[in-house]
Amino acid sequence: MASWLMKSEPEEFSIDDLKRVKREPWTGVRNYQARNFMRDDMKVGDTVLFYHSNCDEPGVVGLARVASKPYDDPTQFNPESHYYDPKSDPDNARWQMVDIAYKRRFKRTLSLQTLKANAGALGDFALTRRGNRLSVLPVSAEQLATILELEKQTD
DNA sequence: GCCAACGTTGGC
DNA sequence: GCCAACGTTGGC
């Protein structure tokens, strides 16, 4: 079973929003590499680290899981949507996504700062690689274990 | 196919 | 709000 990290701006959609709605279609990803992870590599049941970006304290704030197989992101066909993509052919859609289901919220944010401070234990981590802006990225089993251990320490 | 211009992400 | 580090677009 693989694990992933998925970023969301809490002002747009936070871990508390996910807790409330239980399950959410991960619409709006418009980066090919991030799409490929969802479309080609995610499996139902995979662990998701839910990450808050563009906020006071960026970091991992909880856990979710992949709750659906990949399917076409409906927002790409909706001219009213911020994520509308007029170049996407409905018969051969450009953007796929998965649903994410709430698992649990961390008591405290495991901050980006803490993750960077533990760069040694985390090894080569896509999140902290120089210049990385991917909103969906892979997490190794070792990295997941390290992060869950760090969560206990910061409780 | 090159590459300048432009748009976006996201930490700070 | 700034800006580095990207990714994308489109003229040629």
Listed as ranges, the nucleotides of chain B within 7 A of a protein C-beta are 8-12
Average of per-residue pLDDT across A102-121 = 95
Full-prediction pTM beyond 0.85? yes
Q: Measured between alpha carbons, how far is A65 from A1 in angstroms, rounded to an integer?
A: 11
Which of A94-98, A99-103, A151-155 is least confident? A151-155
Structure tokens at A25: 């279609």
pLDDT computed for residue A130 by the predictor: 82
Please report, as a single letter, which amino acid is at residue A73: D
Give the residue with minimal CA–C1' separation from B8: A133
Listed as ranges, the nucleotides of chain C within 7 A of a protein C-beta are 5-9
Domains of chain A: 3-152 (3.10.590.10)
Q: What is the 3-state secondary structure (H, E, C) of chain A?
A: CCEEEEEECCCCCCHHHHHHHCEEECCCCCCHHHHHHHHHHCCCCCEEEEEECCCCCCEEEEEEEECCCCEECHHHHCCCCCCCCCCCECCECCCEECEEEEEEEEEEEEEHHHHHHCHHHHCCCCCCCCCCCCCEEEECHHHHHHHHHHHHHHC
| A10-24 pLDDT tens trace | 999 999 999 999 999
Would the Cβ of A154 be found within 7 angstroms of any atom in strand C? Answer: no
pLDDT, chain A, mean: 95
pLDDT computed for residue A144 by the predictor: 97
| A127-140 pLDDT tens trace | 998 888 899 999 99
Would the Cβ of A31 be found within 7 angstroms of any atom in strand C? Answer: yes
Q: Measured between alpha carbons, how far is A42 from A112 in angstroms, rounded to an integer?
A: 24
| A24-65 pLDDT tens trace | 999 999 999 999 999 999 999 999 999 999 999 999 999 999
Judged by C1' against the alpha carbon of A8, the nearest nucleotide is B10
pLDDT computed for residue A155 by the predictor: 62
pLDDT computed for residue A131 by the predictor: 80
